[in-house]
Chain A
Amino acid sequence: MEKITITIDGKTVEAIKDQPVLMAAKENGIDIPALCHHPELENSGGSCRVCLVEAIQGGRSRIVTSCNYPVRKGLEIRTDTEQVRNIRKGVIELLLCRVPDSEVIQNLAAKYGIKEPRFFTDEGESDRNKCIACSLCTQVCEDVVGVSAISMQNRGRDKAPGTPYHKDSSVCIGCGACAYACPTNAISMKDEKGVRKIWGKKFKMVACSVCGKPYIPEAQVNWIVRTTGKERSFFDKCPDHR
């Protein structure tokens, strides 16, 4: 890990070569909004476009997404110029048009002084209600969980995650990792009476032998046992009582 210095908003800061500018800024207490980036997911970022900053390198200035722009020697970053703010605001306004019901986006919009979007809004079906099509859910399912039960479907404004043919997935294990990863809480996951419902499919939950609380889908236990060789008895108790 090679440490180098760059400037962010006039401040000279230390950062790791090739690390995303967003992370370097964060570590130095500079806040840049970001929705679609997850440090653990190699392919994340670059989709929502709210993390835009101005990058000046080798005398050339351009607007880039900080979540995937690599830290390099001599880099100068400006996170809050008028142009950056205006364009970022424009992007947030468009997100608000897409998902007017998302609290996360409403709050972000309020921060940028957007009360009402000037353009028509998408009256999304319940599924797409809050989804900003960032693809974090599908990446988690593929890269972390390893089942690829969902994918980003369609193109253009109809882009949205889902299972093939919107049918119950034959491979989903009901782990809920996708729902936890979603930046706008767009994935509905309900645990009720020992049954979890996610992506339209129902999963029977295993209850903790100590507290009796259903805490993990059986399908997930089977998957972990099968892929990691862990003892099934390990899942008799929930993490709180192990």
Chain B
Amino acid sequence: MAGQVRKKVDTKQIDKIIKSYDKSEESLLAILQDFQRSFQYVPEEGMKRLSKYMGVPESKIYAMGTFYKALSLTPRGRHTCKVCMGTACHLKGAGQILETIERELKVKRNSTTEDQRFTVESVNCVGACAMAPVVVVDEDYSGHVRQSKVMDILDKYK
């Protein structure tokens, strides 16, 4: 759950996720995504256990971890704030919205605030272009975002 303080990575949870899928290379990406969802990142221990269980070299799993944007190797903040930088949003001023957030939270895009409250990401189109510009915090979409109002949206997340 987003919003929880992360404790030590739970190996039981790791194994539970791994075992909930078919023992096939086809499941690798899905398992890594579930790690991401459970722990807000892909822990090293998870890759190691997954490698052993599937008999796939760790180097290959690590390569996936560094290739896919949906996966991150370092823990994310309690909340993820995705600022859409898709074309429609870009044209409607998403750049300035992202800059406002960066300025106000004192954080660079695609990194996490010092207090671990937010990870701010620029993403490419969240599929709600008709409401551009769009900001998604955790799973909540906000459309027609204005830069003078964007911090009010973020204030709701502690």
> Does A touch B (CB under 8 Å) in the complex?
yes
Contact (Cβ within 8 A) B44 A151: no
Contact (Cβ within 8 A) A148 B60: yes
Q: Which of A144-168 contact B (CB under 8 A)?
A: 147-155, 163-165
Q: Which of B28-65 contact A (CB under 8 A)?
A: 44, 47, 57-63
Which B residues touch A153, using CB under 8 A?
62-63, 66-67
Contact (Cβ within 8 A) B67 A164: no
Q: Which residue of A lies closest to B62 (CB)?
A: A164
Please give the number of chain B residues whose Cβ is less than 8 angstroms from any Cβ of chain A in the complex.
Answer: 11
Which B residues touch A155, using CB under 8 A?
66-67
- Is A30 part of the contact surface with B, judged by Cβ < 8 Å? no
A-side interface mostly:
loop
- Is A171 part of the contact surface with B, judged by Cβ < 8 Å? yes
Q: Which of A142, A148, A154, A170 contacts B67 (CB 8 A)?
A: A154
Beyond A164-B47, A165-B44, whether A149 also contacts B67 by CB under 8 A is no
Which B residues touch A147, using CB under 8 A?
57
A165→B62 CA distance, assembly (Å): 8
Which A residues touch B44, using CB under 8 A?
165
B-side interface mostly:
helix
A171→B25 CA distance, assembly (Å): 20
A-to-B contact residues, CB < 8 Å: 138, 142, 147-155, 163-165, 169-171
Contact (Cβ within 8 A) A152 B63: yes
Which B residues touch A151, using CB under 8 A?
57, 59-60, 62-63
Known: A150-B59, A164-B47, A171-B58. 12 other contacts (CB 8 A): A142-B57, A149-B59, A151-B59, A151-B62, A152-B63, A153-B62, A153-B63, A153-B66, A154-B66, A164-B61, A169-B59, A170-B58
A163→B57 CA distance, assembly (Å): 11
A169→B59 CA distance, assembly (Å): 9
Contact (Cβ within 8 A) A148 B62: no
Which B residues touch A149, using CB under 8 A?
57, 59
14 A–B contacts from the bound complex (CB under 8 Å)? A138-B59, A142-B57, A147-B57, A150-B59, A151-B60, A152-B63, A154-B66, A154-B67, A155-B66, A164-B47, A164-B58, A164-B61, A164-B62, A171-B58
Which A residues touch B61, using CB under 8 A?
164
Q: Which residue of B lies closest to A172 (CB)?
A: B59
A142→B59 CA distance, assembly (Å): 10
A169→B57 CA distance, assembly (Å): 11
Per-residue CB proximity of B62-102 to A under 8 Å, as 1/0? Answer: 11001100000000000000000000000000000000000
Contact (Cβ within 8 A) B66 A163: no
A171→B59 CA distance, assembly (Å): 10
Q: How far is the CB of B35 from the nearest CB of chain A, in Å?
A: 15
Q: How far is the CB of A122 from the nearest CB of chain B, in Å?
A: 18
